Structure 1
Amino acid sequence: MSNKKDRDERRREEHIERRRTTPPRRSSHAKDRRASNYVRSRKIKNTEEEKSVGPDDNKVLLSQINSRLHRAKTEANSIPRYIQSLDNEIIDLKGRISDIRSQNYVYLKELEQEYSDLANKWENRKVSIESEANQKVNSLIAQVSQIENQMNPKMDISEINSLEPETRDLETYLDQMRYLVNAQLEEFREEQRSIQDKVFVAENTINNLASTSINWLQGENPVISVRAHNLDNDDHGVLTLSNRRIIFEEEEEIVLKRTLFIATEKKKVKEVKLEKPIGVVDTIIKGRVGLLKGSGAYISFKPSAGLDELKLDLNDTDVGNLISYFGMIDSGQFDEEQKHEPDDERDKMVRCPFCNAPYTEEIYRGQTTLRCMYCGTSFKI
């Protein structure tokens, strides 16, 4: 009996201990009350924060929105200038083409036709693009005015915040409008840039050869001329490809007079250091040259010419143009523009005028003097 009594006593004590260590269960009503209290406290906090925003803070927020609206209006008004700028550039091209022709640049005969096609196409589309752009700009400016009319210094924070979505939508509309106008203009810009790049090559060639010491051959005309640094002998000057020759003309500045070790008089001297028939050129490839590994070109010559490779330091644009224009020279494109007799036909008929022996060695494009292998006489072709 006593054992049973002891067991009952232990069970009672264990039950009491469990009740003491286990936290009481809370009802769902208690949870709801806690959630409600949290929401109410957040609302009170937000209300207090709104009340804590003073008049000066409102002015700052209004000023920020006003600045964004002003910027949007300014950028919108600049969009029609994209169209006007392109129009001016297209008109300017006509005068530049006339200038290079007046200075005897005879190649790129397609320029006039390409310009005419571009000008006609642009004239047909310009008015509609301008009209559409102006409508969009006017619509955006009207939206800006609507938002500006809602603004006043007495607005509270909630009223100011309500302007934010409208301002953001307006900025998005501006981005879309700018993109659409530029997309319409890009077709014309691409053609304009293509013509402009060719005109630039001609203008650059004319400028580089303005005071040249080169004696041009009969029927010879420069195709492309670029400023270059010959890294093999450290000469600075101008590399020219004509329809007949490759020519490197060194430019050196000589001091004529010094005063207290300061050069007060200088003279630029030009001297042709390399002139070979254009046909001896084998390849022109782009590469990295010099200690800094900048843009440059490697010009290799045909083995029969007996010339070392030429390593030139050039800017990236000139390298690309040099390679492209050499390809056109080598293909005979510029000969056709000048209506020259093809070289391969001429080569078949060459005979020594003194002994009438045929000349069987390779004749390079642009070569004008030959030496007869039979009688040793030099003669012109």
Structure 2
Amino acid sequence: MPSPKKRKPVTPPGKSKPAPSAGRSGSSAGRASVSGASEEVTELHEALTSELETLADELSFSRHLEAMSDLDGGISQLKLDVEQIRMRGYRFKNFLERKVETLEQKWRAARPALRRELSRAEAELTPLYDQLARRVSQASGRAQLSALERQVQQLKARVEAATEAIDATYSNVSQTFYQTRSQIQEVLFLLEQVEQASFDLLAGEHPVQAVRAKWWRDGKNKGPEGILYLTDQRLIFEQKEEVATKKVLFVATEKELRQEMLLEVPVGAVEAARAIDKGLMGHQDHLEFTFGEDAPYASAYFHIKGQDNHAWVGLVNRVRTGEINRERYYAEGESPEDFEQALEEAFASAPERCTSCGAPLGPLTAGQRQIECEYCGTVMRW
């Protein structure tokens, strides 16, 4: 009998035949998948580590500790600075004495509350941070890191809430301190410039403000640099800059300080003052003045540096209207009546006729301390 034919093996139901080997392409895809997952875990780990570094910086509370140090020593220095500017003859911002005294009282009350909030935040949050930082450093899996990511965000929210509570104890005092310090630094700058100036103040004249400026006298961004002064009687620009006196191949080899008063306008001759914001995001402060007939120029344009142009416009207008006298400082034993009398005496010496040709002189504007005879050209000051 013929032998029976051999049957081919039957694949059991639900089970497919073995696929042919994928060879190198299959193993490469597997490695790429593992590599992608590994990179994702690494990126998440690095992101959490970066978040924790930021939290560590916030939990050091360095900003608050620096502010405490500034306030502890700074308020005492403000008191000394106010005494100094009065001794050197600054007669405005009569609110400074009371402001600094109130600031000292408020800081004395706020300091214990600030210390309590700092201690509470440190005691509650530092252990949580340390524990979380250890777990993140030891974590390796995607699921584990995802869970830790949620915990990091929760800790971040608690740190933000603690920071807000800390700020609430002293932010008003801190802001007032830095604002007052800036005001006094501007006054100290003013007094330093007045003491170095090439011109003298007139009898009964007191400086109000000064700022570094460039006068665009010769066109856009062209002209002398120096100091723009505002007194209770005049607007003054003094050139004060180093200019080249010798050049070699267009390089300045010798310089000299050029310092002289180039512009002097009675405040009564300032018809308008306008603030102009220029530059990227309007961060360049410019001032434009329009003058009356008694001024040597019809207008003047300045780029000022380090101070707010809108504040300057307000200050100029307060001097023009006399409102600045509301914040005039009087030393012990002085009174507003004494000031008015001294001012009247200064203006009483103004001539009614030209001292050279005898021609009658025109009316004076507020703050005017010199006049030129329109007949003979003689300039008279008093």
TM-score (norm 2): 0.68
Residue 206 of structure 2 is matched in structure 1 by 221
**In 2 relative to 1, CA 240–81 (structure 1 residues): closer, same or farther, beyond 3 Å?**
same
Aligned-pair CA distance for 1:353: 8.0
What is the RMSD of the two structures over their aligned residues, measured on CA atoms?
A: 4.3
Q: Does 1:272 align with 2:255?
A: no
Partner residue, 1:308: 298
The separation in 2 between residues aligned to 1:171 and 1:297, in whole angstroms, is 45
**Alignment correspondent of 1:114:** 99
Report 1:31-180 matches (<5 A): 65=48, 68-78=51-61, 80-81=64-65, 83-87=67-71, 88-148=73-133, 153=138, 158-180=143-165
CA distance in 2, matches of 1:109, 1:310: 30
1:337 aligns with 2:329: yes
1:276-291 paired onto structure 2 within 5 Å? 276-287=265-276
Task: State the distance in 1 between where 2:67 and 2:285 align.
Answer: 35
State the alpha-carbon separation in 2 of the partners of residues 62 and 289 from structure 1: 45
Please show how residues 340-379 of structure 1 align to structure 2 within 5 Å.
340-341=339-340, 362-369=363-370
Matched, 1:328 2:318: yes
1:149, CA displacement in angstroms?
5.9
Q: Which amino acid aligns with 1:308?
A: A
State the SS of the aligned residue for 1:247. Answer: strand
Q: Which has the larger radius of gyration?
A: 1
User: 1:84 is matched by which residue type in structure 2?
Assistant: M
Cα distance between partner residues in 2 of 1:229 and 1:167: 52
Deviates more, 1:317-326 or 1:134-143: 317-326
Q: Of 175, 192, 196, which aligns to 1:190?
A: 175
TM-score normalized by the length of structure 1? 0.68
Give the whole-Å Cα distance in 2 for the aligned partners of 1:268 and 1:351: 35
CA shift for structure 1 position 121: 0.7
Q: 1:75 to 1:344 in 2, by over 3 A?
A: closer
Aligned partners of 2:196, 2:348: CA distance in 1, in Å?
Answer: 38
**Cα distance in 2, alignment partners of residues 342 and 277 from structure 1:** 20
Residue deviations 1:137-187, cap 9 Å, x none? 221012123435656848765445433332221111112222332344331
Tell me whether 88-97 or 225-234 shows the greater mean CA deviation: 88-97
Do structure 1's residue 211 and structure 2's residue 205 form an aligned pair? Answer: no
Q: Tell me the distance in 2 between the aligned counterparts of 1:341 and 1:316.
A: 34
Q: Which has the higher contact order (CA 8 A, sep 6+)?
A: 2
Greater per-residue helix proportion: 1
Aligned length: 324
- CA offset at residue 131 of structure 1? 1.0
- Residue identity matched to 1:266: K
- What residue is the counterpart of 1:200 in the other structure? 185
Query: Shift in Å at residue 350 of structure 1?
Result: 8.8
Deviation at 1:94, TM superposition (A): 3.4
**Cα distance in 2 between the residues matched to 1:275 and 1:348:** 18
Unpaired runs of at least 5, structure 2: 1-29, 331-335, 354-359
Contact 2:67 2:174 in 1 (8 A): no
1:299 pairs with one of 289, 298, 301: 289
My pick for the range that moved more, 343-352 or 278-287, is 343-352
In the alignment, structure 1 segments of 5+ residues that lack a partner are: 1-47
Letter of the 1:337 counterpart? Y
Q: In the superposition, relative to structure 1, how do residues 310 and 141 fare at CA in structure 2: closer, same or farther (>3 Å)?
A: same
SS of equivalent residue, structure 2 residue 256? strand
Are the aligned partners of 1:280 and 1:365 in contact in 2 as well (CA < 8 Å)? Answer: yes
1:116 Cα shift?
A: 0.8
Which one is further off, 270-279 or 93-102? 93-102
